[in-house]
Structure 1
């Protein structure tokens, strides 16, 4: 059972005359206009960037395994030679050696930590992609709703313009009005028809975008808009509450923080390379056709050069850049969070103002239409008030949709809807 709220006597008159249809009101929850959570998650399964992000986590796991194993490998050497002594005797000799560099001074542990941090980056990146995809869905979803309700308003205006055209034709035929009034009414009718066609085109384009990006998601089907919520009236301290909620689990901030830590670990690992890794090996040889057998152990170590020093300097610079980027992201996230909160509060106030203007304009347009039917005013006054009513109705609906979108965006940024598990 749906409840019908009658806001004014003028609205009742419009319903009674058939000029305004009674809508079926949506749920009072402002978030009820959004698609169900289960459908959103199902549609995200086919989003290419999210599938790629999931693969990125697997790739990070492979990179961690590579870092744990190390990039050093065993090297085998085999040699065959022929020895000739002073007496002219010839001997065959064989030599075999096996050697491998070894990480020491905790380098293996540092590589393991870098691998773990790489997985954290991949997960944070996936979470950030999920959030950005949710924002894009929210934008596309409300774009369809906006164009849909604009088209509905224009269809109502088209019906009224047709009625005015019929009334003008009857008055001209009866000799109660000049011919130009009928021409004005027909011109207005053609203008509104053109607006309806343009709105239908915009709605079709917005629908195509939504269906192309999220093929498994149904189209918005709300017959009317829920009432926006005045958050500031509910809680005077809501700004700080929402700011804390958004910042405590922000994927973009987490990603920047993790990347800075990752670069720091890499810099620390490169700094460890100022002490080169040694290579250990064993060798065995047969000399003078096996008359002599040699078994030995070898150790070698490169001398560090200018390249290692330059690499450490570059790694330090990268760390500083990552930290500066983190500071930039922190400032950006805080600013965007405050803007989202302010936007949700201001759009509600704007909607209330435009909603009152809409009701007044509808009353005035209805009275002017009745007055024109009775011959008390001319067609110009009736059409001008009808245009003002149309503009105010579209502006009010747009403001209401923007208020609902801002409210939903705030809940999305606070991870209260469509949150990544």
Structure 2
């Protein structure tokens, strides 16, 4: 059935999922269309004004004796002049708008990739939890069968079998819940990627395979120079400066060249002159004040964005270091020791040196240690995802 739908059986790694999402996401494509619109706005700002052609036709009648009768025509051509000082500011504002839109689009794509990466690691986390739950269930079934045999032979009290049945039910419930969480995480990942990801996909990757990060100082420099949010704020500041400059220069008189021909039955007159708009009543105080306020706001927003980006980076890097320390501690000692304690307790129970309750306690400690390890690995991946979002790492690259 999958072959009929055109879905190939393949394993998807993170880079392949990112490339697929960026190619198929309608929201990403809409953002790129906004960049195309901003690029077209630059062409609009660079366009020269069109000439104006005026044609008048009528009849001429004499009011006195001896006047000539006939048709009268008038043709006029007016070409507004695009003043260089106004043109440069207008184009500069449009180009800054293009930079701001491009940076905003890069920031949106970074957000899309961050959501996708979190969903990817969420699936790996839930799959790891499901594997552990199935191992716990298989182990509990084995222990329960041994206890049932001992109860039948009279070597153990029936209370131990009741306790084992209770623990087996809990293990079955945990395995069932883990399966539901896997399906939910897979659905959310498919939602983040798009319909191009088949429902029966499989992931090529491990939760423990989180890429390393450079030092905090290197990350600070990368965020300062490459953050799309900062790039957008800087472009908005430039656009506000250009817009203020444009509004101020539009106070100056505008010029247009006008050529006309007037023809009546007696005379044909050809004229060439200049049309000047005199800024007498409207000194554009409103647009200038508005542009000045936008410039002030852009400066404050840039400063706030710089402070916010640095603090977000510091918090994410601290979380990365904390999660990394937790993972190292759990992998190097805690989980291993809990596993050894469980093996010792199980062996002692088989030889009658320990009770079943001690085996259950050791199993709970081992289960809790593995759950904590999975959670720490996911927190490490989440911190990495947040830092990559701030760095705006392109899709398909790690």
Quick check: TM above 0.5? Answer: yes
Gaps of 5+ in 1: 1-32
Equivalent position of 2:161 in the other structure:
182
Which has the higher mean CA deviation after the structures are superposed, 43-52 or 391-400?
A: 43-52
In structure 2, do the counterparts of structure 1 residues 92 and 326 end up closer, same or farther at CA, with 3 Å as the change threshold?
A: same
| 2:314 aligned residue (338, 353, 368) | 338
Contact 1:73 1:100 in 2 (8 A): yes
| 1:315 aligned residue (276, 281, 291) | 291
Equivalent position of 1:69 in the other structure:
47
The superposition leaves residues 381-409 of structure 1 with CA deviations (integer Å, 9 ceiling, x where unpaired) of 33233222211111112213332453465
The superposition leaves residues 54-108 of structure 1 with CA deviations (integer Å, 9 ceiling, x where unpaired) of 32332222111111114x4322222233333334764432222222432325111
The superposition leaves residues 344-364 of structure 1 with CA deviations (integer Å, 9 ceiling, x where unpaired) of 211111223333222222222
The superposition leaves residues 354-383 of structure 1 with CA deviations (integer Å, 9 ceiling, x where unpaired) of 332222222222333333334444433332
Q: Secondary structure at the match of 1:275?
A: coil
Which has the higher mean CA deviation after the structures are superposed, 371-380 or 348-357?
A: 371-380
Contact 2:14 2:120 in 1 (8 A): no
Which has the higher mean CA deviation after the structures are superposed, 377-386 or 401-410?
A: 401-410
Task: Report deviation, 1:328.
Answer: 0.9
Task: Report deviation, 1:157.
Answer: 0.7
Equivalent position of 1:23 in the other structure:
none
Matched, 1:84 2:84: no
Distance 1:304 1:195 in 2: 81
Equivalent position of 2:259 in the other structure:
282
Which has the higher mean CA deviation after the structures are superposed, 209-218 or 105-114?
A: 209-218
Matched, 1:202 2:181: yes
Distance 2:355 2:313 in 1: 52
Q: Secondary structure at the match of 2:303?
A: helix
Matched, 1:370 2:347: yes
| 1:47 aligned residue (25, 41, 66) | 25
Task: Report deviation, 1:169.
Answer: 1.4
Contact 1:176 1:375 in 2 (8 A): no
Aligned pairs, number: 379
Contact 2:12 2:202 in 1 (8 A): no
Equivalent position of 1:394 in the other structure:
371
Task: Report deviation, 1:142.
Answer: 0.8
Contact 2:32 2:105 in 1 (8 A): yes
RMSD: 2.9
Distance 1:45 1:228 in 2: 24
Equivalent position of 1:7 in the other structure:
none
Distance 2:46 2:352 in 1: 90
| 2:277 aligned residue (278, 301, 305) | 301
The superposition leaves residues 259-279 of structure 1 with CA deviations (integer Å, 9 ceiling, x where unpaired) of 211121111111111114233
Map 1:341-356 to 2 at 5 A.
341-355=317-331, 356=333
In structure 2, do the counterparts of structure 1 residues 65 and 98 end up closer, same or farther at CA, with 3 Å as the change threshold?
A: same
Normalising by structure 2, we get a TM-score of 0.85
Equivalent position of 1:247 in the other structure:
224
Matched, 1:292 2:267: yes
Matched, 1:159 2:138: yes
Distance 2:79 2:306 in 1: 45
Distance 2:396 2:211 in 1: 22
